[in-house]
Structure 1
Amino acid sequence: MESLTKPSQTTESQRLPDDILFDILSRLPVQNLMQYRCVCKSWQSMISDPQFIKTHLHRSTQSLDTQRLMVTHPSNDHFISLDCKSLHESKRVDSPWKTSYSYAKVLCTCDGLILLCFNYKAFMSPNRNRDNEFVLWNPTIRKHVMFSCPYNYINSGSSMLYGLCFDSSTNGYKVIMLSESFGVYVCVFDLKTLCWKEIRESSFSISCRENGVLVNGALHWIMTSKKCNSSVIVYFDLVEEKFKEVPKPDFGGKNVEFGLVGLRGWLCVYGWMDTTQVDVWAMKEYGKKESWTKWITISAKRGSTFLCYLKPLCLRNTGEVLVEIGNRELAVYDPKECTFKIPLSFWNVHSLTVATYVESLVLLYDDDDTTKVRHRKVNPNRGYRNRLKK
């Protein structure tokens, strides 16, 4: 009787070449990749490699199907993640930091990372003065970095503006915080060097309470130019560390209040031309004034009701626009039929906090998912190096 033989193991000649395996894996969803890291050490090493993470991120950001929304839940102890393709496909995401006396708020996103700030409930917090704590969080792989700002004027109030971006010149992420007090103060936190820097800007003043819009690798805000005393679009140059203007659309001589949003990689402006509609302009060639094109018109009337607030959030492959209505409701607008559908209401929310993001592997290669960045007070206008808590 022949003895039983063990199943033959995969030989080197039967293995897929690494470049083909790399290409296949980099097209898969994050949830699958997190499981496939357990297949073998070589797969774990490949999926955790920074170059793989970068390639996977690039492919994710190129597809409209991968976009998701992160919504602050009314209870403030968790978030709701929604698929932009179907608002009914939602899932609960627990907050990375829970206490009985504080709650987290979504500020902005970049490459699958979400910047959160902590708000402390009145008369409940043992650290009432510590209102400058933040978390850089990847909800898909559930890893985060905690840090706090050493500058006392930074807080979570309405006067603060935020932004998160990737600096290609240093190959690292940076958090930008704006505050106005006898001028605009810009606080830059470098996640790679763990360094803070403070910069003062005197040519502009904050005029719009929207956080930074990331387009073309730069963060954009609407500010008031002290030179011409009018609203302008500016971006923060990470290399020269100063604001620079971007030409705005020609509104036909009208004084239009407008906001910024990024759609399909274009810098877009949305504004009320009258009480009946919101127009969306897209800058098809970045930096060129003549490339501004009136792109989408969204009716401000639903049934017999005129809507007082509309903001486009993202664009679907069908051409439909996902919009935020009145800070309490999400809906899909069909430009062809001029109708709203799939409403999702949050009536018990005082002010809806929504941010678009993609699922990514960024932060996967960090060893400690609860890294706490400590700081020490420094003199203004001086950078310093933080230290990681051991």
Structure 2
Amino acid sequence: MANQGIHLLKLAEERASARKKLEDHKRKLEESLIPYIPNECISQILVRLPLESLTKTRLVCKAWYRIVKSPIFAKDYLERSESSLIFLVPVKRELYFPFFERKIPEKTNAFSVESKLFRLQSVPVLQQPSIDPTSLLHLHFMESRDGMVKTKEYNATCLGRIRACCGGFILVDNKMKRGGLIVLNPVTRELLALPVGTIFPPHCESYGLAYCPSNNQFKLVHLFRDELQYFGCEILTLGDKSWRMVDGPAFGLFGWCGYDPVVAIGAIHWVPFVDHSEYIVSMTANDEKFQQIFLPTGCRTSDRIVEIRGQLGFVCHEEESKQIDVWCLKGLSGEVWRKQYTIPVGGIRGLVPLYFTRISGEMIFRCKFGHLYSYNCSLQSMHKLEIQAEDISRNVCCFPHVNSLLSLKVNDQDMF
């Protein structure tokens, strides 16, 4: 009986080995029939895919996954990505009875910033504070294409509001810690909790996130106003464990922190007053010095500074001639403002520039009624955008943004 058992075992092993050899032979035969495509060619194909397709395609095989995860591919994809707007949408609370609320449905594969933060910090489940689902904010982004506006979801939620954006990263409040902040890539869902800096009320502070190419790092600049109206400044290099105090702007240059800063030509730029600003205040990312840059004309409440294909743009209204002038500044080494475009507005009133699309070359405006308009600089035509899905009303706070695959692993030189 023992010999018979050994014989059956050997027979089973031989059959399994033969089956494996046959499967290997079939696999090699199939691979030989598929033409070889260099990784460079595959990369050039993948980099042209829209974001929704790319996130699915990277899971096809390990080779494609490695291509999409590489820093070189992330940089190429960033250069091809179109500008958009990112904003937060609160949960809709639908009442179906005076004393009850309909249960909010949870989406599959939904990403919670706070939940991931707890996991990264190894907070036990029983010690995690409960989160009211009605207080969650959903991350959305807006795309403008062919005269249509589409709002899309990242399928991600957070509790804090957006403070700044740069290179596909967004800065949001960390509601789990007083004064805390989180840097997040909503596409890759990678996040980094930042150390707490100087705490001030939101209306007395401003944040700017900028990339510093000289040392391949991102710097977060925190500007704040004290009780004596002096403005202080501290800087955190992403990856560091503490903030650094630096010299702030000269006394009297700033009046408030209401306008979000703009990053362009290697610096962060602020409009320092609510109305009648004759200049902007800029801080260069490399040497971290503040300077005063005079504008070609005064900045009023409906005027803004924007980033225009790497340059700093100033969009101002000429009320008498019913037109909008767009000025551009190419650098901070003696360059001067030059008028780039003149936009006739006709009877459209109260247009406020939101951002400039770097690929299609369109200036996106929002009027006082919340409607969106697009001016094509090449065709020199203005038209109202048709909004699909959710409306981006005048009360929604939105930031210019670009979807990217950049990594937060600053120590591994993964950013650029």
Given the two structures, how large is their TM-score scaled by the length of structure 2? 0.67
> How many residues were matched structurally?
333
In the alignment, what sits opposite 2:327? 282
**C-alpha distance after superposition, 1:57-106 (max 9, x if no partner):** 2233xxxxx22221222446213321121544222334443xxxxx3322
In the alignment, what sits opposite 1:140? 187
- Match 1:239 to one of 286, 296, 309: 286
Change (3 A) 1:256 1:6: closer
2:142 paired with 1:82: yes
CA distance in 2, matches of 1:311, 1:214: 16
Change (3 A) 1:281 1:57: same
Q: One-letter code of the match for 1:180?
A: R
Shift of 1:142: 2.6
Relative to its length, the structure with more strand (as a share) is 1
In the TM superposition, 1:1-390 aligns within 5 A as: 6-7=26-27, 8-10=29-31, 14-60=35-81, 66-75=82-91, 77-85=137-145, 87-97=148-158, 103-117=159-173, 130-153=177-200, 155=201, 157-181=202-226, 182=228, 183-204=230-251, 205-207=253-255, 209-223=258-272, 231-249=278-296, 251=297, 258-274=303-319, 277=322, 279-283=324-328, 285-287=330-332, 288-297=334-343, 299=345, 301-302=347-348, 306-307=349-350, 310-315=352-357, 320-326=362-368, 328-333=370-375, 340-342=384-386, 351-363=395-407
**C-alpha distance after superposition, 1:341-390 (max 9, x if no partner):** 436898996832111222211127699xxxxxxxxxxxxxxxxxxxxxxx
Shift of 1:268: 1.0
Identity %: 20
5+ residue gaps, structure 2: 1-21, 92-135, 412-416
What value does the CA root-mean-square deviation take over the aligned residues? Answer: 3.7
CA distance in 1, matches of 2:152, 2:247: 41
Q: One-letter code of the match for 1:67?
A: S
Shift of 1:278: 5.8
Change (3 A) 1:276 1:187: farther
Relative to its length, the structure with more helix (as a share) is 2
Change (3 A) 1:194 1:180: same
CA distance in 1, matches of 2:188, 2:335: 40
Would you say the 8 A contact 2:352–2:366 is kept in 1? Answer: yes
- Secondary structure at the aligned position of 1:80 is classed as strand
- Secondary structure at the aligned position of 2:78 is classed as helix
Would you say the 8 A contact 2:207–2:261 is kept in 1? Answer: yes
5+ residue gaps, structure 1: 61-65, 98-102, 121-126, 368-390
- Secondary structure at the aligned position of 2:163 is classed as strand
Larger Rg: 2
CA distance in 1, matches of 2:57, 2:385: 38
Shift of 1:202: 4.5
Q: One-letter code of the match for 2:247?
A: R
Shift of 1:39: 3.3
Shift of 1:333: 4.8
- Secondary structure at the aligned position of 1:51 is classed as helix
Given the two structures, how large is their TM-score scaled by the length of structure 1? 0.71
- Secondary structure at the aligned position of 1:73 is classed as strand
Change (3 A) 1:193 1:29: farther
Q: One-letter code of the match for 1:326?
A: K
Change (3 A) 1:262 1:294: same
